[in-house]
Amino acid sequence: MTLPELSPDTWLLLSRTAVILLTALLGWITYRSHLLLQVFTPPYNLLTAWPEQAVRLVFIALFLLPVYLSGLPAEVFGLVSPRPAATILSGVVLGGIIAVGVNLLSFWSIRRFGPQIYSPRLLKNILPRRPLDWPLVFLGLLPAALMEELLYRSLWLGLFSDLVPPVLLVLFTSLFFGLMHLPQGRLGVAVTAGMNVLLCLLFYGSNQLLLPLVVHYTVNVVQVITGYVWKDWLFAVN
């Protein structure tokens, strides 16, 4: 017995349905993790522990499945980069500039509105605890950024732009992306929602995933370094 062949429109519908379900699943896991971090401090680094990395790699594989099933060309998902070296260099420079602005805004906000708007719980669990942890933390940041970029840029913007106006897609993904960072407090939600807008604009403007991915990764690297340098102040005010 052979399975009936599905039309391209049906495969596309299945791909979009899979994205919605995977987004809901990731949101549920994030919410449960947020609740857990309120009462439990993991004895290991959340970026370097193999179970955490395994979960991210599984999600990356799951996010690539709708790309394959959709039957759409790789360009739709931004998976083609004509000049990768130049794109990476541009992403690092732009990411560094954005990271400086984000950190300045964050420090000002904490001083202006009080420490209650920010939670350092997640930061405490991803900072290197010894010198040998630094390369592992930087390596662990890559699948974390790739997982989010595949979902919020490649899948949502690539698969739904012909159904939903880009402005609404940017607003929706920004809201969800911000809520995904609820463990960092209200400031984390607001800052990451704003970051998502910038990353979406980079995706639309460049028609490739590599640029927002490099920017995203660079911002995260700078934030970890900044958090380590200022950890005594950040942890003291919270």
Query: Which residue do the tokens 């800052």 mark?
Result: 191
* Residue 121 to residue 119: CA distance in whole angstroms: 6
Instruction: Answer whether residue 2 shows pLDDT above 80.
Output: no
Out of 12-26, 49-63, 122-136, 147-161, which region has the weakest mean confidence (pLDDT)? 122-136
Query: What pLDDT, on a 0 to 100 scale, did the predictor assign at position 203?
Result: 97
Looking at residue 1, what is its pLDDT? 43
Burial-class residue 114 by CB neighbours within 10 Å (0-12, 13-18, 19+). exposed
What percent of the chain shows pLDDT beyond 90?
A: 63
Maximal C-alpha separation, the chain? 67
Q: Does position 234 have pLDDT exceeding 80, yes or no?
A: no
Rounded mean pLDDT of 37-55? 84
What's the whole-number average pLDDT of the chain? 90
Condensed to tens digits (0 to 9), the pLDDT of residues 48-76 reads: 888 889 999 999 999 999 999 999 999 99
Q: What pTM was computed for the model?
A: 0.93
Q: How many residues does the chain have?
A: 238
> In this structure, which amino acid lies at residue 17?
T
Q: Which two tokens stand for residue 139?
A: 């390596």
**In whole angstroms, what is the distance from residue 51 CA to residue 238 CA?**
28
Grade residue 180 by pLDDT with cuts at 50, 70 and 90.
confident
Other CB atoms within a 10 A radius of the CB of residue 147 amount to: 19
Q: Is the pLDDT of residue 47 over 80?
A: yes
Contact 196, 152 (CB under 8 A): yes
Q: What is the pLDDT of residues 185-205, one digit of tens each?
A: 889 899 999 999 999 999 999
- pLDDT value, residue 238: 52
Residue of 138, 115, 125, 81 whose CA lies nearest to 233:
115
Average pLDDT over residues 219-224: 94
Q: Count, in order, helices (H) and strands (E) of the chain.
A: 10, 0
45-57 as b/e, with b when 16 or more CB fall inside 10 Å? Answer: bbbbbeebbeebe
Domain boundaries, the chain: 8-73+87-236
Structure tokens at 127: 């900072």
